Amino acid sequence: MSRTVSRRTWRARSILLVVVLAALGAFLVWRMLRPLNIFTVSTSFERPIDTGAAPEFLGTLRAEDCGRCHGAIYAEWQTSMHSRAWTDPYFQVDWRFDGKQQICKNCHVPLDRQQEHLVLGFRDRDKWNPILAPNPGFDTALQHEGVTCAACHLRDGKILGPAGDARAPHPTQKLSDANEICLRCHVVQGARWDTFYRFPPCGTAAEIAAAKRSYRGRSGEYAVQDVAALGCVQCHMPVVERALVDGGEARVTRRHLWRGGHDPRMVASALDVRLVEVGARAQDERAFKLTLTNIGAAHFLPTGTPDRHLTVRWRVLDRQGVPIVERHKTLERTVLWRPFIVDLWDTRLPYGEPRTWRIEFPAPLKPRPSALEVEIRYHLLHESRRSRIGYKNEEPIDYPIFERRIDLTSPSREAHP
């Protein structure tokens, strides 16, 4: 009798184990195949910006309307990536690949008049499935302006600005801190039960705030505690003295350029590179020390989407320019996306922390070394991602920000940083 009970118990436990393992396997398969939402939709950008209270004086809200008075600012905006937030070819290919999610429009074309549909509500708790209706106020030309003037400056029928000038022909309101405007789209939330970000995706502002210890993480929504300390506009909108309105008095204002990862000079200005020859460990060796320091970006370098990364390559060449020794390093944020989102490791450059590598090789290499080449490149996109989404880029997706060639035919000269 006891043997029979024991067998039944063993069989029941075996069946339960099989059921549990099958359920776990099915769950993991679902996690691998399900549509992937890599961030949470916060109240700050769940809907487009309401333009219903915009004064008639502002007309269509197109940038050219603003440019009639603010000509210099309009000209700068035209050169910016903000003006291409919707029309940028990479964004369009990537957006289509990910299913044309409506939520992406709320940052890339933030005004309600820029979107074909009105957002009436949501069918799901996560707000990824909005209830849409045709938008009678949709303006195609305005949509193609991406992050246009009104996207940052129009709120509740008033134009936000640093002065709040009562003499303006439209209602104005003074900003308490200009960095507030950046937060709507540059602190994307990521706190979910199945995500384990150190920083939320595209967490530029969060990276700065974390370094200043003014950032709240996984308990609730990600939030920046000290907006004034971010310094977004101080870096990306340099101060300039000029007339805010064409023909007006000169005053201290800011340029509307927002140069960043698409500008090689801007990236290079944030990076200090030191390459010096140092004492070798053995008599028949030569050694160099390469040190990289992020001196200009309060966030990580690079920042933004995890596709952006730096590569460091050094090569020892013979007299014909053929590599004898070649090494590569990649500085990037690595995220596991499935079955759960986990920040695995991050080798990017935080602000003010030097990263050093030692380059050494035997001096009597054959063939004889002729030169040492060091190159640092900034990559906007991984080649694997470019190929996967079918992006046929007309512009380069990477560019050099540092190149140095050292003649090795001369005797060793030991140097110190």
- Residue-wise pLDDT for 135-191, tens only, equals 999 999 999 999 999 999 999 999 888 877 767 788 888 888 888 888 888 888 777
Same domain, 55 and 126: yes
271 and 398 co-located in one domain: yes
Beta bridge partners of 291: 274, 356
Among 116, 145, 177, residue at a domain's last position: 177
Same domain, 68 and 113: yes
> What is the arithmetic mean of pLDDT over 288-307?
93
Residue 413 predicted with pLDDT over 70: no
Average pLDDT over residues 366-372: 85
Q: Are residues 387 and 369 in the same domain?
A: yes
- Within 10 Å of residue 73's Cβ, how many Cβ atoms? 21
**Which ranges of 212-361 does DSSP label H, i.e. alpha helix?**
232-236, 264-269
Number of domains forming the structure of the chain: 3
Instruction: HSE, CB side, 13 Å, CA atoms: give it for residue 183.
Output: 21
DSSP 36: P
Q: Is 139 inside any structural domain?
A: yes
Residue 230 pLDDT:
84
pLDDT classification of 411: cutoffs 50, 70, 90 = low
The answer on 295 and 170 residing in a single domain is no
**Residue 242, in any domain of the structure:** no
Whether residue 346 has pLDDT greater than 90? yes
What SS3 state is found at 131?
Answer: strand
Among 177, 196, 211, the domain boundary falls at 177
Same domain, 271 and 219: no
Give residue-wise pLDDT tens across range 195-215: 888 887 877 888 887 776 555
DSSP string, 94-116: HHHHTT--GGGHHHHS-BGGGSS
In a domain, 257, yes or no: no
Whether 202 and 169 map to the same domain: the answer is no
Q: Are residues 121 and 221 in the same domain?
A: no
Based on the fold, state whether residues 209 and 315 are members of the same structural domain. Answer: no
What span, in angstroms and rounded, lies between the C-alpha atoms of 23 and 122? 30
Neighbours of 400 (CB within 10 A): 12
Position 5 scores a pLDDT of: 58
Burial of 328 (0-12, 13-18, 19+ CB in 10 A): exposed
**Which residue type sits at 55?**
P
Q: Where residue 299 sits, what CATH number does that domain have?
A: 2.60.40.10
Q: Are residues 287 and 163 in the same domain?
A: no
Residues 6+ apart with CB under 8 A from 274: 289, 290, 291, 293, 417
Residue 26 lies in a domain: no
Confidence band for 392, pLDDT divided at 50, 70 and 90: very high
> Which structural domain, as residue segments, surrounds residue 193?
187-227
Residues 90-102 pLDDT 10s: 999 999 999 999 9
Residue that the structure tokens 């069946």 belong to: 15
Q: Is residue 124 part of a domain?
A: yes
Between 134 and 321, residue with greater pLDDT: 134
177, 195, 211: which is the final residue of a domain? 177
pLDDT of residue 417: 37
Average pLDDT, the chain: 88
Which pLDDT tens digit goes with each residue over 85-142? 999 999 999 999 999 999 999 999 999 999 999 999 999 988 999 999 999 999 999 9
Torsion of CA 391, 199, 220, 26, to 10 degrees: 60
**222 and 168 within one domain:** no
CB of 115 closer than 8 Å to CB of 12: no
Residue 2 falls inside a structural domain: no
Mean pLDDT, rounded, for 308-324: 93
Within a domain: residue 247? no
Q: Is 328 among the domain residues? A: yes
Q: What is the pLDDT of residue 414?
A: 46
Query: Are 159 and 201 within one domain?
Result: no
